[in-house]
């Protein structure tokens, strides 16, 4: 090594910083090479005692492939399941069919108006969105479905059974998943005027009765258990008999269980917001990148759009104000009027409108969130919010942390009293600013979609992967001595 330095020395002036960098890199590589040569056996034969050290050395070796070319080629890259599941493994309860499969078998009878069998077909993705032919690239058509917004429970169940960190041994699990379709089960009772509070709570009560017999539930008081709830949190929080919904979340048995839910109560630690299912279900990383370039290159003809219907029953409805501003915008705003049922489960008009607009208005609906937020962003349109609870306090890990990097926030009171005009606010953004925000939205598309294939997307993490990583990280944090499990 000394001789090597002696050879190199005349080549560089050490006042030159580039020479220093070069020298440092070379030095590290030489050190690494020497280091590796002194541990040949621990690398070349399968060795399970020090997997992490071996993994580190292997990574380093690959990065230094120039120096160690022949070496890294002869080393098999074996990553074991354990390496990938550093945050722990998930056990999936094998619940009685009453809690999931029977609900699907009953799809004819899940809401008071019509059959839901089409909506729940294709493992919950719904019918193929053939109506998008001619609007989106032909080779992406197989990735689009008319997916219902309330099918989260089916999507998660299907995916988690195939998760790389699923374990069949409860004693080795860090997390326990309860595949109970509580949202689908309560759906019809929410709307039938003949249903009782008992009807609304039946499924949830049965589930808790079953769960409270389980040894691992008893052991943790539910802290390491989680469930998906495919409807908004307010559908499960009935406090008084005459109120709306089921009282599932208020039941003591559910107290310590983490709930992955499409709209959370921002003040409840156990509610974790996850994206609403939308129509785009890519099956490969090329589906994802093709779609990203499609929405990036799209020529957008309107400044903004409004998809929705005013609630005429409410006085001074904010949506009516927005709808009027949209109508008065001299062609800068496009409207898809969803009065009636024409927007249920998506129509091509919605996708096309988002694809054609720079911004989309996202006022609160009956609740704070709407599926439309995700329909909009997946189409590469920039969301405009009027309530902080619509997205910023909802979808941590799935949306960028900095609201201004991907969205516009307009004070609704200023719109109501006439000081803010939406069109003027949006026109004040330069082309460059719009492009930058759109790029942020596009970057986050993978985190907002649910893959088509039940093994996920090779090489890309989707919303489901982020959700499960989040759960495992949270349960790991709960094991830290400084974490206090409150009552
Ligand atoms: C339920 O609704 C139907 C139709 O809307 C109505 O005819 C019926 O009287 C209602 N029943 C109750 C118990 O309110
Ligand atoms: C998705 O891709 C996987 C592998 O890339 C393939 O095995 C599978 O059949 C595809 N699934 C669908 C529904 O296209
Ligand atoms: C309108 O509302 C905004 C936001 O609440 C407030 O700052 C502003 O003073 C109001 N203007 C008028 C004229 O009332
Ligand atoms: C929830 O967890 C707390 C703290 O571990 C425990 O005291 C309480 O009994 C648990 N609640 C239920 C319903 O299990």
Q: Whose Cα sits closest to atom 10 in ligand 3?
A: 414
> pLDDT > 90: what percent of the chain?
68
Same-domain pairing of 150 and 297: no
Same-domain pairing of 20 and 98: no
Same-domain pairing of 153 and 271: yes
Question: Residues 421-441: pLDDT tens digits?
Answer: 999 999 999 999 999 999 999
Pairing of strands 127-128, 145-146: antiparallel
Q: Is residue 17 a part of any domain in this protein?
A: yes
Residues 6-24 have a mean pLDDT of: 46
Residue 106 tokens, joined: 């009953």
Q: Is residue 178 a part of any domain in this protein?
A: yes
Report pLDDT for 344: 63
**Is the full-model pTM beyond 0.85?**
no
Q: Is residue 484 a part of any domain in this protein?
A: no
Same-domain pairing of 337 and 267: no
pLDDT at 30 over 60: no
193 CA closest ligand 1 atom index: 1
486 CA closest ligand 4 atom index: 4
- If one compares 79 and 420, the residue with the highest pLDDT of the two is 420
Would the CB of 284 count as within 6 Å of ligand 2?
yes
Report pLDDT for 20: 46
Same-domain pairing of 113 and 17: no
| 78 Cβ contact partners less than 8 Å away, ≥ 6 residues apart | 46
- If one compares 214 and 190, the residue with the highest pLDDT of the two is 214
Look at the chain and report how many structural domains it folds into: 3
Contact 154, 160 (CB under 8 A): no
Residue 349: give its domain's CATH number: 3.40.50
Q: Whose Cα sits closest to atom 1 in ligand 3?
A: 414
Same-domain pairing of 109 and 173: yes
Same-domain pairing of 258 and 119: yes
**Looking at 78, 112, 129, which one is the last position of a domain?**
78
Q: Is residue 84 a part of any domain in this protein?
A: no
Same-domain pairing of 39 and 108: no
Question: Residues 231-243: pLDDT tens digits?
Answer: 999 999 998 888 8
Residues 396-408 have a mean pLDDT of: 96
Q: Is residue 62 a part of any domain in this protein?
A: yes
Q: Whose Cα sits closest to atom 7 in ligand 2?
A: 453
Same-domain pairing of 127 and 247: yes
Would the CB of 220 count as within 6 Å of ligand 4?
no
Same-domain pairing of 298 and 407: yes
**Looking at 45, 78, 111, which one is the last position of a domain?**
78
Would the CB of 127 count as within 6 Å of ligand 2?
no
Q: What are phi and psi of 209, to 5 degrees?
A: -60, -45
Q: Is residue 455 a part of any domain in this protein?
A: no
Contact 306, 333 (CB under 8 A): yes
CA neighbours within 13 Å on the CB side: how many for 100? Answer: 22
The Cα–Cα gap between 434 and 439 comes to 9
Distance (Å) from CA 192 to ligand 1 centroid = 9
Distance (Å) from CA 296 to ligand 3 centroid = 36
Band (pLDDT 50/70/90 cuts) for residue 74 is very low
pLDDT at 404 over 90: yes
Q: What is the CA radius of gyration of the chain?
A: 27
Distance (Å) from CA 52 to ligand 2 centroid = 32
Residues 213-236 have a mean pLDDT of: 96
Same-domain pairing of 72 and 147: no
Band (pLDDT 50/70/90 cuts) for residue 18 is low
pLDDT at 295 over 70: yes
Domain holding 12, by residue range, is: 2-78
Band (pLDDT 50/70/90 cuts) for residue 81 is low
**Looking at 56, 78, 100, which one is the last position of a domain?**
78
Report pLDDT for 312: 66
Same-domain pairing of 188 and 300: no
Q: Is residue 457 a part of any domain in this protein?
A: no
Distance (Å) from CA 418 to ligand 3 centroid = 8
Q: Is residue 458 a part of any domain in this protein?
A: no
Q: What are phi and psi of 311, to 5 degrees?
A: -95, 95
pLDDT at 127 over 70: yes
- Name the maximum alpha-carbon separation found in the chain: 92
The Cα–Cα gap between 88 and 78 comes to 19
CA neighbours within 13 Å on the CB side: how many for 171? Answer: 0
Distance (Å) from CA 421 to ligand 3 centroid = 12
Question: Residues 300-341: pLDDT tens digits?
Answer: 999 999 998 777 656 678 998 999 999 999 999 999 988 766
Would the CB of 253 count as within 6 Å of ligand 4?
yes
Q: Whose Cα sits closest to atom 6 in ligand 4?
A: 487
Distance (Å) from CA 452 to ligand 2 centroid = 8
Closest to 33 (Cα-Cα) out of 6, 70, 2, 8:
70
Q: Whose Cα sits closest to atom 5 in ligand 1?
A: 193
């Amino acid at each position: 090594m000394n001789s090597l330095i002696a050879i190199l020395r005349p080549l560089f002036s050490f006042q030159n910083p580039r020479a220093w960098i070069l020298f440092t890199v070379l030095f590290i590589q030489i050190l690494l090479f020497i280091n590796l040569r002194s541990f040949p056996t621990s690398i070349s034969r399968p060795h399970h005692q020090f997997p992490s050290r071996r993994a580190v050395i292997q990574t380093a070796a690959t990065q230094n492939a120039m120096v160690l070319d022949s070496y890294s080629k002869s080393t098999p890259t074996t990553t074991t399941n354990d390496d990938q599941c550093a945050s722990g493994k998930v056990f999936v309860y094998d619940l009685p069919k009453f809690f999931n499969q029977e609900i699907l078998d009953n799809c004819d009878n899940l809401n008071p108006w019509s059959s839901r069998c089409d909506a729940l077909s294709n493992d919950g993705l719904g019918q193929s969105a053939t109506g998008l032919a001619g609007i989106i690239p032909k080779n992406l058509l197989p990735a689009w479905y008319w997916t219902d917004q309330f099918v989260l429970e089916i999507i998660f169940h299907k995916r988690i059974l195939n998760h790389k960190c699923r374990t069949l041994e409860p004693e080795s699990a860090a997390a326990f998943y309860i595949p109970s379709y509580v949202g689908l089960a309560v759906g019809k009772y929410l709307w039938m005027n003949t249903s009782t509070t008992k009807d609304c709570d039946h499924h949830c009560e049965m589930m808790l009765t079953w769960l409270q017999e389980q040894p691992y539930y008893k052991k943790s008081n539910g802290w390491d258990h989680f469930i998906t709830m495919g409807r908004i949190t307010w559908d499960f929080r009935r406090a008084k008999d005459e109120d709306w919904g089921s009282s599932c979340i208020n039941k003591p048995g559910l107290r310590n269980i983490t709930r992955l839910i499409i709209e959370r109560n921002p003040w409840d630690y156990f509610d974790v917001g996850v994206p609403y299912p939308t129509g785009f279900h890519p099956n490969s990383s090329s589906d994802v990148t093709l779609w990203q370039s499609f929405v990036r290159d799209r020529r957008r003809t309107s400044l903004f759009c409004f998809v929705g219907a005013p609630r005429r029953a409410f006085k001074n409805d904010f949506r009516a104000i927005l709808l009027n501003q949209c109508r008065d915008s001299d062609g800068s705003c496009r409207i898809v009027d969803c009065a009636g049922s024409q927007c249920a489960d998506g129509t091509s008009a919605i996708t096309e409108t988002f694809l054609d607009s720079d911004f989309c208005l996202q006022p609160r609906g009956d609740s704070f969130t709407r599926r439309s937020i995700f329909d909009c962003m997946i189409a590469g349109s920039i969301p405009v919010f009027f309530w902080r609870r619509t997205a910023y306090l909802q979808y941590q890990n799935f949306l960028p942390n900095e609201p201004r990097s991907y969205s516009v926030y307009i004070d609704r009171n200023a719109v109501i009293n006439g000081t803010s005009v939406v069109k003027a606010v949006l026109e004040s953004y330069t082309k460059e600013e719009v492009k930058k925000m759109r790029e942020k939205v596009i970057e986050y598309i993978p985190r907002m979609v649910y893959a088509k294939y039940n093994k996920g997307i090779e090489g890309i993490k989707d919303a489901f992967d982020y959700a499960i990583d989040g759960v495992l990280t949270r349960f790991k944090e709960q094991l830290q001595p400084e974490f206090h499990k409150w009552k």
